[in-house]
Structure 1
Amino acid sequence: MTALPDREAVGTLLRHVLELLDGDVAKVYAERDLADYRPRYSPVVRALLAQGPMPIRDLARTVGVTHSAASQTVAQMNRAGLVDLTPGPDARQRLVNLTTKAHDLLPLITAEWSATTTAMRTLDTELSIPLVDLLTELTTALTHRPFRQRIADAGLPTPPPPPPPPQDQDDLA
């Protein structure tokens, strides 16, 4: 068993929990010959199933990630043959579409989603508050008052202003 991170290292603990959850889901995929499928693909697949092909910008907004994160995930999914990109109505846009390969995998992927949801509910019975409720509460609190502001309010001194830019010798004459 891996030792738990220091209680003060909250970011490390959050990443550790995510690694435990996503790591085991990835093992489930690998055991079912879906080694190219990653847990991070599921929100994209769900969004495309629900709303159809869409630009990466809209996909990012729909799944709640940055454009950069959505772009990276779509690129990985494209390499795995799960999505393709077609020109959108605006020449600057590319529409993300699920491929036939992705549609063929849907019975297995949706069965995993269902089993994962059930497993999460079982895990929640061992916690003092369901994990999704805690994470939603945490997100709301940090959106209302960002952690950066909380750090400043805790007494961290304000950084000094940057020095003025150097003047050219010609300006001094």
Structure 2
Amino acid sequence: MEDPTEQSLWRPLHDLLARLDAEIGQIYTDRDVKGLKPTWVRELLQLHLKGPMTITELADAIGRTHSALSQKVAAMRAAGLVRTVPGADARSKQVTLTAKSKKLVELLAAEWRATEAAIAELEAELPYPMSQVVRDVEEALARKSFHDRIAEKLQ
């Protein structure tokens, strides 16, 4: 069998996103911030702005699944950025910022704004902005889901 992963239309997009995340991560390293991943910033800012939330509330606030957020909260807890306490019932946990992350929120908000400005600058240099590509892909997927496209190819 040939290796089907040798060719990929998908990999360049994943590689680009990983590169951009790594460059954002370098901003934190430059400022001697340890243990912070760029993919956690939105959640940390939401907790700062809205206060303690259950994992379900946080997942709803950012549009992710409970399972995905539960794993992310566990990783942020291990990094010392959040803590969890029992929620109103035995099944839920309240997520709160730690003193460590509270010291970082101004930097995180500034980095978020700077990143958005850098993306806008980058898009101005492109003949076809990334945000338009996303909208166009979403419209195409509204016509036929990615699942259905893959399933058809497997038949």
- Name the TM-score, length of structure 2 as normaliser: 0.84
Q: CA deviation at 1:39?
A: 0.5
Q: CA deviation at 1:101?
A: 1.5
Q: Percent identity?
A: 37
**Alpha carbons of 1:65 and 1:24: their partners in 2 closer, same or farther (altered >3 Å)?**
same
User: What is the number of residues matched between the two proteins?
Assistant: 151
Q: CA deviation at 1:96?
A: 0.8
Q: How large is the Cα RMSD of the aligned pairs?
A: 2.2
Instruction: Provide structure 2 residue ranges, at least 5 long, that are not aligned to the other structure.
Output: 1-5
Equivalent residue number for residue 62 of structure 2: 63
- Partners in 1 of 2:39 and 2:99 — Cα distance? 19
Larger Rg: 1
Q: CA deviation at 1:103?
A: 1.2
Equivalent residue number for residue 41 of structure 1: 40
Equivalent residue number for residue 161 of structure 1: none
Equivalent residue number for residue 14 of structure 1: 13
Task: Please give the residue correspondences for 1:16-35 in structure 2 after superposition, counting only pairs within 5 Å.
Answer: 16-35=15-34
Q: Which has the higher helix share?
A: 2
- Partners in 1 of 2:8 and 2:68 — Cα distance? 24
- Name the TM-score, length of structure 1 as normaliser: 0.76
- Partners in 1 of 2:108 and 2:72 — Cα distance? 17
- Partners in 2 of 1:48 and 1:28 — Cα distance? 22
Q: CA deviation at 1:157?
A: 5.7
Equivalent residue number for residue 71 of structure 2: 72
SS across alignment from 2:95 = strand
Q: Verify the 8 A CA contact 1:26 1:35 in the aligned structure 2.
A: no
Q: Which runs of 4+ in 1 moved over 3 A?
A: none
Q: CA deviation at 1:111?
A: 1.9
Equivalent residue number for residue 107 of structure 1: 106
- Partners in 1 of 2:111 and 2:71 — Cα distance? 23
- Partners in 2 of 1:73 and 1:152 — Cα distance? 30
Q: Which amino acid aligns with 1:23?
A: A
